[in-house]
Amino acid sequence: ALRRWPPWGGALLGVLLLAPVLLWNAVHGWPMFHHEQGHVLNASEAGGWRENAGHLLEFLGGQWLGLSPLVAVALVRVLSRPPRLAEQRLLWALSLAVLGFFLAKATVSKVQLNWPAPAYIGLLVLFAGRIETSAASWRRLTAAGMVSSVVLLGIAFFPMAVGLSPTKAPFDELRGWRESVAEVARQAGPTHFLMVPSYHLAGSVAFYWPQPLPVYPMAENRRFSQHDFWPGIEREAGRDGVYIATDDGLPPRLLSAFARCLPLAPAPAIARDGGRLRTLYAWRCQNYQPTVWPKPTTY
């Protein structure tokens, strides 16, 4: 297969598509590569082999559930041996190599559920091509797995339909933002900018705030993120801002950067069954004075 042009043509096309990304990284200090370097090289901190074993079991269980348990069993059964055609063997080997890399990575540190996703593109293509020639029992198992996937997704999106509280259901971190952010905005009144402790919270607050405003992550031990490429908080000198967090604590450095900060009433995010998803704590801060903030400590 490597003596023919398609693999090399595909590689050339991949390089051409990646060229703008590589050029941007070269100009900006290779941030994407530093980020991935942290994923590859950072091992578990405390915990030793017990924590590593937990990460491995979490990885295996997450992949099994993510594919759908029945589909995962059928896929392993069908693809346990390499295909006959050379082109299919190449795709099979490359996909398993990606999956094997993340399996090895899971023995030393945490691997997020979606990281091995590229491996399944090729494996599912091969699996789909083998379904028709599989035994009837395996075809029935695959069909049952697909149906169960739809059912599980339905439960994840509509947990109350089966009596599951939204506070304990999947995607609980995505629920309840609109109302709680709107309540903070109502209490704060007109303001010029927003501040948060992390870039995770920055996205939710920016999306649900009634008006488009700049958002600045302010934690002293924060990670390097896209916010570091955008205009910084130094342009807000003399203006008023609102600091929003999910814990009731205002960083001393931030407090000293303003003339004063006044706390607002907590804004809880309440699920449909009355359970509390989270609580937003906020302070309205007046007259920002430019301050030297610590650089990001990690990628």
- For residue 103, what are its two tokens? 């399996």
Is it the case that residue 46 has pLDDT exceeding 50? no
C-alpha of 229 from chain center = 20
Looking at residue 274, its pLDDT comes to: 85
pLDDT tens, position by position, 244-298: 999 998 999 999 999 999 999 999 999 888 889 999 999 999 999 988 888 887 8
60: in domain: yes
Please name which of 215, 214, 211, 207 lies closest in space to residue 178, comparing C-alpha atoms.
Answer: 207
57: in domain: yes
Overall domain count for the chain: 2
Query: pTM for the whole thing?
Result: 0.78
Looking at residue 186, its pLDDT comes to: 96
Do 81 and 55 share a domain, yes or no? yes
Domain C-terminal end among 103, 132, 157: 157
pLDDT tens, position by position, 131-185: 888 888 888 988 898 898 888 888 888 887 788 787 777 777 888 899 999 999 9
Q: Which residue has the tokens 């099979």?
A: 92
Overall size of the chain counted in residues: 299
Do 217 and 152 share a domain, yes or no? no
101: in domain: yes
- What is the domain range of residue 99? 43-157
Do 146 and 216 share a domain, yes or no? no
Do 137 and 192 share a domain, yes or no? no
Close Cβ partners of 217 (under 8 Å, ≥ 6 residues apart): 195, 196, 197, 198, 199, 201, 202, 225, 227
**45 or 131, which is more confident:** 131
Do 65 and 153 share a domain, yes or no? yes
Pairing outcome for strands 276-288 and 241-245: antiparallel
Q: Which residue has the tokens 């706390």?
A: 263
Q: Is 159 exposed, middle or buried (0-12, 13-18, 19+ CB in 10 A)?
A: buried
pLDDT tens, position by position, 204-233: 999 999 999 999 999 878 888 899 999 999
Is there a contact between 94 and 118 (Cβ–Cβ < 8 Å)? Answer: no
